[in-house]
Amino acid sequence: MEDNQSKLSSSLSLFRFFLYSLLGIFIFFIPIKVEGSSSIPLDHMANWLSSNLPTATTIFILLLIVCGSIYPFINKSWNKSTFNIVFTMLKVLGALFAFLVYFNQGPEWFLNPHIGPYVFNYLVIPVGVMVPLGGAFLGLLTGYGLLEFMGVIAKPIMQPIWNTPGRSAVNALASFVASFAVGLLITNREYREKKFTKRQAAIIATGFSTVTVAFMVVVAKTLGLMEVWNILNRPEYIGEWIT
């Protein structure tokens, strides 16, 4: 009886691993064409929200900015170090600039379409929509074993190329699909547990702590590269690279 239950549990875990991992890969990495535009499903969702709910989206982002600027004062961390003080002041300044752009008030140079409004409309809004939306789906990549699975596969290349333990592949993948902060937290924990040397921890923290895949979508979209987001989906580009 116990063996049957164990087999059933293993089968369900394996099913969830394949189902949710493949769904996460589809949402983040497989371009599809919607109304003539080729992009990943996550980007299509963000575009739909921005296009159909522009006012609600903008207000939501302004609320995020305000909450981020006042949170250090609520948890009383704003004056714990010089870094915290400077960063908190920058957050407050950023909130002020966001409201100036939203209400179209301020100096002429700041309201230039290529300065304040450009940053707000083409960086702040896309990031404000893409990152929280991406975070809602990141659990598909991180919560069902895909992260650890890919870490095991990548182990053989970590030591000979970067001179770091094979387990550091998990740190790199966590930074990419979850958050650079998550990658740094994992690195710090494993360094404190003596699993990394100081040199290895420094290499991992500075070399592997990339931006998240959700933010990379924002950058690719800004640069007009979403058509080739997944290069494997465009064999003609692969042929050009080979030749």
For 155-200, how does the pLDDT look when each residue is reduced to its tens digit (9 = 90+)?
Answer: 788 888 888 888 788 778 777 765 666 677 778 878 888 888 888 8
The helices-and-strands tally (H runs, E runs) of the chain is 13, 2
Provide the mean pLDDT of the chain.
81
pLDDT of residue 242: 47
Structural domain including 40 reads: 32-138
* Residue 239: inside a domain: no
* Residue 97: inside a domain: yes
Angle at 220 between CA 19 and CA 48, to 5 degrees: 65
Do 112 and 165 belong together in one domain?
no
* Residue 2: inside a domain: no
Over residues 92-119, mean pLDDT: 91
**Pairwise CA distance, residues 44 & 38, whole Å:** 9
* Residue 121: inside a domain: yes
pLDDT of residue 91: 93
Do 41 and 113 belong together in one domain?
yes
**Pairwise CA distance, residues 89 & 67, whole Å:** 14
pLDDT of residue 140: 84
Region of 163 on the Ramachandran plot (φ > 0 left; ψ -120 to 50 alpha; else beta): left
Do 132 and 41 belong together in one domain?
yes
Do 129 and 102 belong together in one domain?
yes
Question: Is 15 buried (19+), middle (13-18) or exposed (0-12) by CB count in 10 A?
Answer: exposed
**Pairwise CA distance, residues 46 & 214, whole Å:** 11
**Pairwise CA distance, residues 85 & 15, whole Å:** 48
Answer yes or no: is pLDDT of 1 > 60: no
Cβ–Cβ under 8 Å, residues 117 and 98:
no
pTM: 0.68
Query: Structurally, how many domains does the chain consist of?
Result: 2
pLDDT of residue 25: 83
Cβ–Cβ under 8 Å, residues 130 and 215:
yes
Do 114 and 199 belong together in one domain?
no
Do 38 and 79 belong together in one domain?
yes
pLDDT of residue 241: 45
Do 125 and 191 belong together in one domain?
no
Least confident of 91-95, 126-130, 239-243: 239-243
Over residues 130-139, mean pLDDT: 80
Do 160 and 201 belong together in one domain?
yes
Q: Which of 85, 120, 138 is the last residue of a domain?
A: 138
Cβ–Cβ under 8 Å, residues 57 and 132:
no
Do 43 and 124 belong together in one domain?
yes
Answer yes or no: is pLDDT of 89 > 50: yes
